[in-house]
A and B are shown apart, each in its own frame.
Chain A
Amino acid sequence: MLIFSVFKTLTDQVVTVELKNDLCITGTLKSVDQFLNIRLDKISVVDPERYPHMMAVKNCFIRGSVVRYVQIPATAVDTQLLEDATRREHASTHKR
């Protein structure tokens, strides 16, 4: 749930989603769900000549399972907060 929460804080940021087939899509993050499926608005494709089918697409839904990376603006995240939240989640899921 931690990463899901992080992505929720990133809505309306411009991100680049890299798929496992190397397709890179830049767009405004509109929404995300617990499977990390992603909705992007006002998209543009890196290297559009290789992906002509994307030319007329303005917004898209990407299935979380096909994502390799999401490039995030560094200014959009508080790394200290992230690390604390991760430690807290680790502690709660590894209770002994």
Chain B
Amino acid sequence: MADLSAQVQEPFDLVRLSLSERVFVKLKGERSLVGVLHAYDGHMNMIMSDVEETILLVEPEEEVNGAGTVQTVKRQLEMLFVRGDSVILVSPGAR
């Protein structure tokens, strides 16, 4: 762990070490991605492959005892560009 903190001096160093690794990305709009990171830039724009997207769907219309329904939907995408302004966090080591 000591050599990791030596390699990571600023946030993007951690992202660089995640290149070609599977990462977890949390996005705005109740979305998250797990996929292999191939490219990024200073805006946190990213290109990922073999992506599984998870969306939290909220349906206020289908009221169940006044609470609405919440369900998760998953989707597979082979190669994806993600715009950085949607990104909340990037976490390495998503298995």
- Are A6 and B47 in contact (CB-based, < 8 A)? yes
- Are B80 and A36 in contact (CB-based, < 8 A)? no
A contacts with B, residue count (CB < 8 A) = 29
- Are A65 and B85 in contact (CB-based, < 8 A)? yes
- Is A77 an interface position by the 8 A CB rule? yes
Residues 11-25 of chain B: 1 if any A CB is under 8 Å from the residue's CB, otherwise 0?
011001001100000
- Is A90 an interface position by the 8 A CB rule? yes
Assign chain B's interface to a size class: 20 to 34
- Is A74 an interface position by the 8 A CB rule? yes
Contacts of A68 in B (CB 8 A): 27, 29, 82-83, 86
- Are A85 and B81 in contact (CB-based, < 8 A)? no
Closest to A76 in B: B79
Q: A36-B45, A73-B78 are in contact. List 6 more A-B contacts (CB 8 A).
A: A6-B81, A20-B29, A69-B80, A82-B47, A83-B20, A87-B16
Q: Which 3 A-B pairs have the closest CB atoms?
A: A70-B81, A74-B78, A74-B79
Chain A residues engaging chain B, CB cutoff 8 angstroms: 1-3, 6-7, 20, 36, 64-65, 67-74, 76-77, 79, 82-83, 85-87, 89-90, 93-94
Chain B residues engaging chain A, CB cutoff 8 angstroms: 10, 12-13, 16, 19-20, 27, 29, 36, 38-42, 45, 47, 49, 77-83, 85-86
